[in-house]
Every structure is written in C-alpha cells, then in structure tokens.
Structure 1
Amino acid sequence: MLSVRAVRVAIRAGARRVSPRVNRLSPAIASNASIRLSQAAYSTSRASDSTTRAAVIQVLNNIGSKREVQQYLSHFSSVSSQQFAVVKVGGAILTDYLDELCSSLAFLYHVGLFPIIVHGAGPQLNKLLEEAGVEPEFEEGIRITDGKTLGIARRLFLAENLKLVQRLEEMGVRARPITSSVFTADYLDKDKWKFVGKITEVNKEPIQTAIENGYLPILTSMAETSEGQVLNVNADVAAGELARALEPLKVVYLSEKGGLFDGNAQKISAINLDEEFDHIMAQPWCKFGTRLKIREIKDLLETLPRSSSVAIIHPADLQKELFTDSGAGTLIRRGDKLMTASSVSDFTDIAKLKDVLIRDREVRDARATVDRYLEFLKDKKFKAFFDEPMKALAVVLESSPDQSYATLATLTITKSGWLTNVADNLFAAIKKEYPSLVWTVKADDENLTWFFAKADGSIVRGNDVMFWYGIEPGEELNNLMKEFTMHGRAMLGDSNLESRLHRAAQVASQNLKAHFASGSAANQARGYSTLARRSVMGTAANSAFSRGAFRRYTTTTNPNPPYGKKHASNDQPSRVALIGARGYTGQALISLLNTHPHFELKHVSSRELAGQKLQGYEKKEIIYENLSAEDVGEMEKKGAIDVWVMALPNGVCKPYVDAITDAKKSATREDGSLIIDLSADYRFDKSWTYGLPELVKRSAIAQAGLIANPGCYATAAQLGISPLVEHLGGQPTVFGVSGYSGAGTKPSSKNNVELLTNNIIPYSLTDHIHEKEISTQLGASVGFIPHVAVWFQGIHHTINIPLNKTMTSRDIRQLYQDRYAGEKLVKVVGEAPLVKFINGKHGVEIGGFAVHSSGKRVVICATIDNLLKGAATQCLQNMNLARGYGEYEGIPEMD
C-alpha cells in the first residue's frame, strides 16, 4: 500500500503547488473573471510540476515495473482528462478510509490524471436519521426519502463533500466541490419513494470546467428536477449515468472488501463478460448482491466502448489496480470472444492475417517471410487463437509422436491487446487446450515478466529465453534444453558454452531480481480464471551444469502450488544435515523430510544419541553422529551438504555457523549451501533473512543463504496482529499459552506434567525474547505474557488490540481474509479457534474478532502447533523456497 506519508514525501521531492482559493462554488455559477484567474494560477503551478510528476512516478514504480507504469500512464493519457475514470466512493470509505482514499487520489492527480469522484453517505445518513428519531425505510432496496430525510441528507452530503475536498487540499491537491447542476432527474415514483430521482440528463460542463482549470471534481449524488427540486439518487446509479455520458476508460467502485469473492471466499481477479458471464451466473455462489452487481455492471459496459472496464477495489490499492498488470481488486470487462482456426483456409481474411503477422517483423523482406511461413503451416497440424480485431494472435504447432509438448510458433499482441488483457485470455485458452507447451522470447522483450509468470521454467541463451510449462523433469526436458542451448537459432560464436550459459544465467537473475523489486509476489498478470490470483516468483541458479546434467537454472515457481503437485524450480535433490536432532522439533522435521521428494537427509548430529540408529526416517539407514564444528567445516569445504539445519538450543550454534561461513570462503562450489537456524540466535541479525513467508517477501527468502526461522509464539502473534498494524491505537498485548513440548526435552518445572496438572504456569512475564522478536518484526511495540499448560503440543494466543478508529468485527475479519487470501497455511475463521484442533496441523488459525462496544478495541485469537508451523513446517517452507522447490512441497494440506 502507498501510504499518506509516501504521498507527502513524493510531493515534497518536487515543487509545491499553489492552490488558488477562488471559485470554490460550482463552476456553473462562477464568473468569467474568476475562471481566468484560476486558469492563470493553474498554468503557473503546472509549469513547475515536472519534478513532482517524476517523483511520484518513481514511487509508483515500487508497485509495478517501469514498463507497466509507463504503459498505463500512456494509455490513460491517450484520452481527454474527463475520460480517464469515474470513481464511486461509498459513505463507509469516507468514514473509515479517508486518508487511504486521498492518498490514492493525490498520486493520480500528481501524475496528471483527473478522476471524477462521485460519493455517497449511506451509513452516515442512517446514523443521523436514528439520532433524529427517523426510522430509515427501504422499498425494493431503495431508500424512501421524505422531506425530513431529504433535508438531513442534503446537509450531510454537503458536509461529507467538504470534508473530502479539504483533506485533498491538505495533500496539495486542487479539488472542487460540485454539489449541484450535474444531474437532472425526474421522480422515480413520487408516491412510492417520494423525493428519489431517476437521472434523465447529465450536464458535463461543470466537470469539464473544473478539470480544465486543474481541479479534481468532487460530486455528490444529488440531482435536481427541471424545476429545481433536489432529489436523492443512489451513488452507484449516479456513477453509472456519469460513465454513460463521459465514456471513461475506467469505472471504479471503491469497496471495503476490495473486490468480488467466489464461493471459496477467494477474490475474483478478473471477469471477461463475453466469455464468462453465463458460466458465472450459473455458479451457486453468484447470488444476492454479487449477482445484482455483476448484472448491473454488464448492463453498464454494454453501453460503453469496448475499451472501458469496471474495477472494484479497496481505496488503498487504487494505484496497483490502475498501473500494474496484476491489479489488486476485481476487474470486469466485456473482453473479446476468442476464435480459432486449424488451417490457413479457416481465416476469412488472409490479407488481414498477413498484415498481423508482418506487424512485429522488422526485416526488409517481411512479406516474403510471411508468405513462406503460411506455406509452411499448410503442411503442419496447428491451431490458431485470436480475437476478432486480431489484437492478439497465437499459432500453436501440435505435438508429434517423438515429442509430448506443443510449440508456440507465433505470438503477436498489440499494445491495446496487452492493456485490455486480451493476452491473458489468449494464453488461458491455449493452456486449457495444451497441457504442455514450449516457446521462445527475446530477453529484452518488455513483457518478459509476464512470460515468466506463465511458465514452469525457462533457460536463457544469449538474447533468447526459452520457456515451458507442463514438462516434467527428465530426459525429454534435458534434451529440449540441450538442443536449445547447442543448436538453437542465433548461436553466439565459438565461445565456451558453459561460460556463455553462466553469463546468461546472470542476465536472467537480474531480470528476476527486477521482477522481485517490483513486487513479483503479486505481479502476475490477471488470469482468465475467476479464481483468486496466484502469486509468482522466481529463482536463478548460478551454473548451467550440476554434476554433469543440465538443470533449469532460470525458472519461475508459484509459491502457492496445489498440494501434492510438483512445481519446482530445481529438479536436483538437496542433501541435508541436521545439527541437534534430539529435541521435539528435530523429530518433527525428520518426519517431514522422510516424505519429501527432493530432500535427502545425509547427517544427523546429536551428542547424546551418537551411535544409535535414527528412527522415523525410512529412505535410508542413518546413524546419529556427534559432529563438531570442525567436522562441519570440512564437510562444507567438500561441498557435501546443501542445507544445514541448526536445531540447537539458544546460544549454542554460533561455532557451527562460523565454521560453515569460514569454509565457504575456500569452497569450490558456486551456489553455496543454505543455513537455517531454528534458535533465536540470529533473528535480530540483519545479515540473516527472517523466514516467515506469509509476512516476509518470498523473493528474499528464495535468494537467502542464511535464514533465521521465527519462533513459535512469535509466528502466531505476528500473523494475528499484522493486518491491523496500521490501525493500532496503542500497544497490543498477547496472552500466550503453550503446551509443555515448548519447554523442550530437558526436565524443568515447565514440562513437569505432575506440576502442570490442574494448573497453568506463567513465566518470563516481561522482556521475553519473543516479545522483542514480535515487536521488532512488526515495527510496533507489543506486550507478550507467556504461560505453559498441561497439554503437550499447540499454542493458543488471546490478543488484545487497541484501535485508532472505530471498526466493526466484520471490517476486521475482512481485513484478515483479504490479507491472507491464498495463503495455504493461514486459516481465518469466525469463532475463536481451539488449541485441540490445531494439534498436528501445519498452519495457523485466526478468529474471534470480538470488538468492544466502543469500537476501539478488538480481541483476536490465534492457534498454532508449536512443533510444526511454529518450527519444523516453517523450516521446510523456507528450505523449499531457498532451494527452488514448490513452497508447500512435502507439507500436508490443512483441513
């Protein structure tokens, strides 16, 4: 989210605006003199805005790639200012998210975009009516507006409009309140709804005048009859009628929920009405308000140009929705129906087909090349996919008896095709028909990250990148990669193959790092599916060869793959050494490694168990060793271990870590080993990556060589507090109770079952190490009070959180559902979760959401298995990410 502070910093980086204090009334009644004065002041202020614009664009680049931001800015600037966007703001947004809204609008304004704002005030009106002793009445979902209600509503709308305008001006945004003279209406049904209007005409002049003079127009949803009688109009209806009159590129409905949700409570990323409307309407979850909203949007878009779209989005995510391919809310568009052809003769307009094929070819004999290509296709089995205007065209060559995969021979997409997401529709159709596919793209292609998002893996050679999906690691993939590397087009002279591949890998790594820096975990382009958007990230290995075999050294991997399905960026096994395996956590990790397809346990060290056979690991017989720091260092020098797991008590593992670190300096291997520490020794060391994937960038974990595994108490507490950090009104307090396995295997009062029976034992009541860990990671002071109880495994947190504004239980629960949507190991529930149901489970459950009658304090409960997600499972997540496997590989699914 781009904060209010970020807006102010960006604005301070450039020139300050001079906001003229003239002509604050509707421009319909402004004098020509004041308009001229406003225009002059505006012209002067805009002349010094280039620095401000550049600063804001630089901040925008933090939410998307430079290519995305520039592309969308160009797209939005291609129409007149009043045709950029109509934004409908609900009353609840003005109450609870005013700063987030104004922050987003300020960014748009300072890059020269002028959205037209139409706001309502429904919740505020209900409250005022109740205070005035007026019972709100509705008929068919429409408010019955008598004279008294209208008077209250009119005063309220003016006050809310002024509040929004003043807050924008405090941020350096010139905003103009337009509270009349835009909507002309007749009575909807005077006998039934009284002073409720049906809009018959939209006067664009006040809006155009405001924008021409450099003001954001801020409209209320009030209308007048031709005789001047004020009428109440639903804000959604007003926004729709305004959109019909202005035909903007975007119609934006700001929503607390941030989008539409399917039957699995997953946010719907995009809906292409031409392709999906009937299917969606047949779904059991599409009912009530969701069904009505989709139908109304369909009716609206059918009256607008096909380039227009509707976005339902949280105000804090407006920039991301507008300036990135991935978006953030629900995007609804008419789309373009896709057509197919299986032969050249299936195309009704061959001349148009040739023009489309030529448009991306810059060679001198382009037409002759295209003619030869079409002759080539006549003898091949292929399928072409394209939209009617051919903004996008793909030609897929079918698989053959000696290869299982299809080949994407042609993909040509116009800028309009990228911007209107035809590209996503096209690729989704291809993927639906072809379970495995190979294609090649130039390494300098501006949409390279989009291709990374679509692929299971890739390999770079010079200025070419070969992508694939659906091909399992094995001989066929190895041969494909070898053929591409050795015999593909545009070979790079006679230089050494391995060094060329190494350089190519570095290029790919830089591309992926840029992808990460732009928020790659959320930057996947919108998919055709109406399911929640899946996050994407990538890893790059350092060498093209591994023990003589080709491997995927530049890949993209979904950190949230389906359980039980391999989606790895590394097809080589990783050798693991576990230092300190006597404790409960070590045993839990051994059990997980026993069923993991890619990790091989090579050494297990325990001083007390040395010489005994390891139990619970069935892949091979392993005998406990008593490894010294010197032993570990020698093994690292030889490159014998890929992953070191330190499962030692606090304050013990440093000699081992130092030995491995020193040995790396003289080791010959290029990629280096990974160290994961399960103790608290390195959780505050900035040279180590803190390994909590749900809250730390997965890309950082994927590239880390040193990972500090979070504490069990700390994991559940952070996940339980994090979505509310920006809403804190004071210090949260965590009352935590752990089963006695958390006290370890060494006998003490905290794991003495006899003492714990019918008892609960508090300990370390202040300054516990987890209190420091939670506070440090969240960036907010948190109090933590630990206890131990008689059960063996599992933790329960009761978390008291003061709030800085009034919120409802529903508001808060929605925040948590949005924050953790798609996270396989975080489950948001309604009731307070119970510790008995988390025992043996690999995730965290969060629920309760009990709000105090003041609305300024909430109590949230969280449960976690301290040995699994609190330790071993989280360790395996981090190992998977850092070694290039699917994040949830080897982790059973939560119920």
Structure 2
Amino acid sequence: MSHKSLHRSLKYLLNFQSFNNGNYMLPLKNARNASTMHFIKNELLNITGRNQQRDDLRMFLKEIGTDPKEARFWMKQFTAAVDPFKPFAIVQIDNHVFTNRESVKKLGSYLSFLQRNGMKVMIVHGSNGFPHAKPTNLQTYRREITNNTMLLVSILESFGAEARPIFGGHNVLQADRINCNNFYGRVTEINRDVIKWALQSGHIPVIEAIGETADGQLLNIDLWETVVKLSTIFVPQKVINVNKVGGIFDENGRIIPNINFPNDLESSFSKSWCTPELKDKISNISELLQLLPNECSVVITSPTNILTELFTHNGAGTMLRSSDKVLKLDSLKAIDDGKLTTLLNKSFKKNLKKSYLTSIEERPHTIYLSTSYSAAAIITIDKEVPIPYLCKFAISETKQGEGVSDLLWKMIKQDHSKLFWRSRWDNRINPWYFKRCEGSWSNGKWTVFWYGINNHQESSALIEHALSLPDCFNVETLHSSV
C-alpha cells in the first residue's frame, strides 16, 4: 500500500460516525457506494497484517537471540513440510504450568506466533496419571480444567490467533472405564471431525484430556495417552511437552539437549540422573516415535523457551527423536563410495578430488557412518603424527539441528582421548568447533583445533602437520573445508 492511498483511506475515515471492531458502518456523508467502504476495510486489514508481521519479527528475533539466517533456515524447514490440514505441532501442556499466569501468557504469545506463521498448533492439556480419587475432587479437577481451557483460548485470541475450545463431554475423546471404575478411563477412539474442522478453518483446537463413555459418563484420562492417540492420527512434525522443568537434566544439573533412539536408549537408562520416573517417560516417548515417521520428534521444554528450542541449533530443552544407527568401521570396504562422496559433496557444497577416497584408504583409523548416509565422520592417522586426525565431519542439510552432530561427536570423544582437525577460517560451523576444542591456532586461512593435547611442542607439531595436508576438494569448487 502506497503512502498516498494510506493517506486517502485515513482521510476518508474521518467522515465515519460509527467504527466498531472492524464492522464498518457507511458514513453519513460523502458515501458514494459500498465498494469504497470495502476498499477501505481491505486497506486497513492490509495495514494490520503488515504491522502484525513486523511485531512478529521483532518479538521473534528478540526472544530467540539468534542469527536471522539461522531462524530463517528453521522457519523454511518447518513451513515447507507442514500439511495444511495437519498440525505442525501437538502441544501437551502439563497442568502445573497453569499455576503461573505470566508463563501461560508467554506460552500463548508463542503458540499464536506459530499459528499465524503457517505452523498449525493443536493443544492438549490435563493431568498425567490419575491423582484424584474422590468424586468431589474430580468435580473440582474438571472445573479447573475448564477454567484453564477458557484462559488459554482467551490468551491465544488476545494475541491474534483464533482458537476453539473442545471441552470434555462433546464425544470427541471416546473412552472406556478402567476396571469398571466410574471416574477413570482410557481413550478408545477419537472423533476427528471436530478437530479437523478446527484445523482446516484456521483455529487452534484446545482439547481437554477428559473422555466420554458410550453412555455419556465423563472420565479422567491420562494426558500422555491422549497425546499418543492424537499423534498417531494427525502425525505432527513435533510433539511438544511443555512443563515447568523445561527438559531432562544430567547429574550436574545441565540440560541434555538430545536423546537419540536407539543409540542413546540403553546408555541413558544406566545414568545416575535417570530416575524410574524418567525411565518410564523416555520409554514412552521411544514407543511413540516408533509409531511415527523418522522426521517426527518429541521436545520437552518450558513455556518461555519454545521458540528458542524450535528455531536455534542449540535449543533450550531436550529433543528426543529416532535417528539412523551409526556404524563404526575401520575401512571403506563395506561402504558405498558413491553415496559417501555425494554426502561429502553436498555437505561442503564442492566436489571431492577423485583421489580422496583412495588416499584415506591408505591411512584409515575410524569411520563413523549413519546407515542412511546422512552423517559421517572420517578419522585418519599418519605414521609421522600418531594422533588421530578428523579429516571429514559431514551432516546432510536434512539432518542438521536434529542432534546427529552431537551424537557423532559423543561417539568420537568416547573412542579418542586425543584428536586434532582443521577448518577454513570462514567455515560457518567454526563456532561449534570452538565450543568442543581445548585449543586452537589460526593463520587467517586455516584454523587448527585440538583436544587432549597439553604439550606445546606436540600441539605445534600437529599444527604444522595439519597445514601441510593437501586440499581434499577440487580448486574450482573450493570454498570451505573441514
């Protein structure tokens, strides 16, 4: 809209004697026809839309505190893959989140942002397990759930997202009693028409985890079981568990950013931080992910960190997902050379020299490779310098940000107490390397990294050796290398 047309529209509005919430009355004077009014209404809606976009962008960048390029990458990934008739995310809100009104308001702001920007959201809330034993308590609990639903819908709509409450007792979550119990049940069927209608009409369905029997009896149902049923029907990209804890933490109180199945399952269970309750939770998530496509993931985060978790590589919570099994090999014999070359060429956006694979065959040490050829790390060792050298570290674009790089790195660290590698000065993942190295040196063209090396003379020898290695890629495509 040009400044001139904006000025004309605003000037015309001065003649209005009635203007209420977007329902525009014809002016009492200078009204030639209704089409002019329609034009003004559309112009004002355009202005509102652009203002909303600016506000969204400003809020988004402020909250995630990241490079706009990184945010754009994730926005593109998420919006490109979303089916217009399916949710991008099913958001499970644990009941205790509602005890903090400001957190709920923040959460509503973020979820409405996702909805406005083409990432449809479905919300489910209630209680995990069955903590209420007496009928009077059940009545209180249901009243509390209904109040939370109304609060959430009001907050979402205050931030510009249309929402629809789906209260218990509307025959949406059909359930049977557990052991003839009149208060607790298990979901048997979901009437998806109401939920589909809400999604397709651009509304956020806010679903209460309260089931209904065939004879109309309302039953408490487990929140996670409800989320599992909905997820297997609507197959979202993300299942987001919003709670006050905000993730899974290790024995030192540090958040665990990624848990990959099946690689991390057994090792997680053996850790001291993995309590019986956490073991059950991780097992339940693993079982859900087995029912969903590989690209789906489960995220555990707090109300104030949803955007950071979704739109930054570092995240702000714990992401659990199924990942390819990573093989550990000591030669190229069992490897498809063509697939490995394609992965490296696409990852580095340049072409390997034809002699590269032959050269590493002569000095192999360890090769880590995912079964789908979406991730690889190649470690070599030379007679002159008997310390492992990370020759290549590559993650396909489709797997970036999914924890695959951390999984590879964890395997490398477990197997190698010492390691060094080099990277061109302008490599965009150098910040990631700096966080994982214990020392580095740069000459303006290359940066040499290492860990496990405490001797200055030894590190100097490693730097000299790294700089003496030939380029692995053809000169005409050379841009950045690891």
TM-score bracket for this pair, using the shorter chain length: 0.7 to 0.9
CA distance in 1, matches of 2:57, 2:253: 39
Alignment of 1:230-379 (within 5 A): 230-283=218-271, 285-347=273-335, 349-360=336-347, 366=351, 369-370=353-354, 372-379=355-362
CA distance in 2, matches of 1:454, 1:418: 17
Deviation at 1:162, TM superposition (A): 0.5
Alignment-mate amino acid for residue 421 of structure 1: G
Aligned to 2:176: 187
Alignment of 1:124-163 (within 5 A): 142-143=130-131, 151-163=139-151
Deviation at 1:411, TM superposition (A): 2.1
Aligned to 1:682: none
Deviation at 1:389, TM superposition (A): 0.5
Deviation at 1:344, TM superposition (A): 1.8
CA distance in 2, matches of 1:362, 1:94: 47
Alignment-mate amino acid for residue 61 of structure 2: Q
Deviation at 1:325, TM superposition (A): 2.0
Aligned to 2:406: 424
Alignment-mate amino acid for residue 162 of structure 2: R
Deviation at 1:294, TM superposition (A): 1.6
Aligned to 2:104: 98
Aligned to 1:453: 435
CA distance in 2, matches of 1:120, 1:342: 51
CA distance in 2, matches of 1:54, 1:463: 36
1:395 aligns with 2:395: no
CA distance in 1, matches of 2:375, 2:438: 23
Secondary structure in 1 matching 2:305 = helix
Deviation sequence 1:804-848 (CA, Å, 0-9, x none): xxxxxxxxxxxxxxxxxxxxxxxxxxxxxxxxxxxxxxxxxxxxx
| Correspondent of 1:412 among 383, 394, 398 | 394
Aligned to 1:437: 419
Alignment-mate amino acid for residue 455 of structure 1: C
CA distance in 2, matches of 1:70, 1:188: 47
Alignment of 1:531-610 (within 5 A): none
| TM-aligned CA distance change 1:439 to 1:265, over 3 Å | closer
- Equivalent pairs: percent with the same residue? 26
Deviation at 1:231, TM superposition (A): 2.7
1:382 aligns with 2:365: yes
Deviation at 1:68, TM superposition (A): 3.0
Alignment-mate amino acid for residue 94 of structure 1: F
1:86 aligns with 2:70: no
Alignment-mate amino acid for residue 89 of structure 1: I
Is the contact between residue 19 and residue 174 of structure 1 (CA under 8 Å) also seen in structure 2? no
Deviation at 1:88, TM superposition (A): 1.0
Cα RMSD (Å): 3.3
Secondary structure in 2 matching 1:214 = coil
Alignment-mate amino acid for residue 343 of structure 2: V
CA distance in 1, matches of 2:196, 2:22: 18
Secondary structure in 2 matching 1:426 = helix
Alignment-mate amino acid for residue 453 of structure 2: I
| TM-aligned CA distance change 1:275 to 1:111, over 3 Å | same
| Correspondent of 1:66 among 58, 65, 68 | 68
Aligned to 2:59: 56
Deviation at 1:335, TM superposition (A): 2.7
CA distance in 2, matches of 1:47, 1:208: 29
Is the contact between residue 347 and residue 396 of structure 2 (CA under 8 Å) also seen in structure 1? no
| TM-aligned CA distance change 1:83 to 1:449, over 3 Å | farther
| TM-aligned CA distance change 1:352 to 1:121, over 3 Å | closer
| TM-aligned CA distance change 1:213 to 1:460, over 3 Å | farther
Deviation sequence 1:363-419 (CA, Å, 0-9, x none): 5xx47x23x11222232233210111111111110253x324321212221112212
Deviation at 1:203, TM superposition (A): 3.7
Deviation at 1:317, TM superposition (A): 1.8
Deviation at 1:472, TM superposition (A): 2.1
| TM-aligned CA distance change 1:461 to 1:19, over 3 Å | farther
CA distance in 1, matches of 2:417, 2:311: 31
Aligned to 2:78: 76
Secondary structure in 2 matching 1:345 = coil
CA radius of gyration, larger in: 1
Count of residue correspondences? 429
Secondary structure in 1 matching 2:379 = strand
Alignment-mate amino acid for residue 312 of structure 1: I
| TM-aligned CA distance change 1:74 to 1:227, over 3 Å | farther
Alignment-mate amino acid for residue 125 of structure 2: H
CA distance in 2, matches of 1:384, 1:486: 22
Deviation at 1:337, TM superposition (A): 1.9
| TM-aligned CA distance change 1:396 to 1:67, over 3 Å | farther
CA distance in 2, matches of 1:121, 1:100: 21
Deviation sequence 1:211-246 (CA, Å, 0-9, x none): 443332221112233454433212222122212222
Normalised TM-score (structure 2): 0.78
| TM-aligned CA distance change 1:100 to 1:422, over 3 Å | same
Aligned to 2:457: 475
> What residue ranges of structure 1 are gaps of 5+ in the alignment?
1-17, 22-39, 123-140, 491-895
| TM-aligned CA distance change 1:230 to 1:477, over 3 Å | same
Alignment of 1:685-700 (within 5 A): none
Once the two structures are overlaid, the 10-residue window that deviates more, 437-446 or 82-91, is 437-446
Aligned to 1:119: 125
Secondary structure in 1 matching 2:400 = helix
Deviation at 1:187, TM superposition (A): 1.3
Is the contact between residue 185 and residue 231 of structure 1 (CA under 8 Å) also seen in structure 2? no
CA distance in 2, matches of 1:116, 1:280: 30
Deviation at 1:201, TM superposition (A): 2.5
CA distance in 1, matches of 2:232, 2:340: 34
Alignment of 1:415-814 (within 5 A): 415-481=397-463
Is the contact between residue 459 and residue 481 of structure 1 (CA under 8 Å) also seen in structure 2? yes
CA distance in 2, matches of 1:194, 1:379: 71
Deviation sequence 1:298-323 (CA, Å, 0-9, x none): 21111112222222222122222222
CA distance in 1, matches of 2:55, 2:185: 42
CA distance in 1, matches of 2:471, 2:444: 10
Aligned to 1:169: 157
Secondary structure in 1 matching 2:183 = coil
| TM-aligned CA distance change 1:103 to 1:47, over 3 Å | closer
Deviation at 1:339, TM superposition (A): 0.1
CA distance in 1, matches of 2:437, 2:111: 35
Alignment-mate amino acid for residue 451 of structure 2: Y
Alignment-mate amino acid for residue 69 of structure 1: A
Tell me: higher relative CO, structure 1 or 2? Use CA pairs within 8 A at least 6 residues apart: 2
Deviation at 1:345, TM superposition (A): 1.1
Deviation at 1:488, TM superposition (A): 7.4
Deviation sequence 1:4-59 (CA, Å, 0-9, x none): xxxxxxxxxxxxxx9999xxxxxxxxxxxxxxxxxx99x96657644334323432
Deviation sequence 1:772-800 (CA, Å, 0-9, x none): xxxxxxxxxxxxxxxxxxxxxxxxxxxxx
| TM-aligned CA distance change 1:268 to 1:354, over 3 Å | closer
